[in-house]
Amino acid sequence: MIVIPAIDVMGGKAVRLTRGEREHATTYADHPHELAARFAAAGARRIHVVDLDGAFAGEPVATSVLQQIVEAARAGGAKVQTGGGIRDARTVHERIDAGVDQVVLGTLAVREPKLAESLCKRYPGRIIVATDARDGKVAVAGWQEDTDVPVAELAAAAQSWGAAAILYTDVARDGTQIGPAVAATAALQEEIAIPVYASGGVGSLADLDACAQAGIAGVVLGRALYEGAFTVEEALARC
């Protein structure tokens, strides 16, 4: 199981939200690229970056900050996967040209599945599809809008498009440290062949053990790292 530290950017700073709510933001670093360098130095080989302002605005906002993060991560031997506000092909092209290893599609995958499929085919191995779940259905537009699309349906479609992986986030758990949705994530992993990454709610090393034992391919780590529940080194040693 791979460990993927997360950096969420809002207002140019590294923050964590609770359940995706902007009014419940905690700032952890004024210079996000320094976190990327620290994570890479600790041994992380992949870093998950979200442009939160972009997710809410529906277009990229933190482009310059993202570039700094990519450069810092690559200098330390880590790759970057990023999402947030990526709603068209041009932005995907720009992200990859800027050195991002994988691009995460959420809203676009739901609203424009044909375009998402074409991007998966154009960039094999470099598109991740996010299934942000609220009560089993996909939430979009920075989790501000609910849809009638079942998580399993979107994941199966993404696999058929050629997506590299699925990012499964339980919106209700994100930023809470109450534990990830292990059973739901594992069930999704059993249904599809491509890797499924769990995100949201991890609060302890025991949570990582549970994910690994359930056969989940990877875990995105956020607030637990920032609050000192464990270190990147400890997480990597566990997985």
Q: Is 132 noted as a catalytic residue in this protein? A: yes
DSSP-derived 3-state class of residue 180: coil
Task: Please tell me which residue in 132, 170, 174, 207 is annotated as part of the active site.
Answer: 132
Distance CA(6)–CA(25), nearest Å, equals 15
Q: Is 97 noted as a catalytic residue in this protein? A: no
- Residue 23 has phi, psi (to 5 degrees) of -70, -10
Q: Which two tokens stand for residue 51?
A: 């442009």
Q: Enumerate residues 6+ apart whose C-beta is below 8 A from 18.
A: 24, 174, 175, 176
Task: Please tell me which residue in 8, 53, 170, 174 is annotated as part of the active site.
Answer: 8
Q: Beta strands 127-134 and 137-140: pairing type?
A: antiparallel
- Residue 208 has phi, psi (to 5 degrees) of -65, -40
Q: Which two tokens stand for residue 16?
A: 């964590």
Active-site residue set = 8, 132
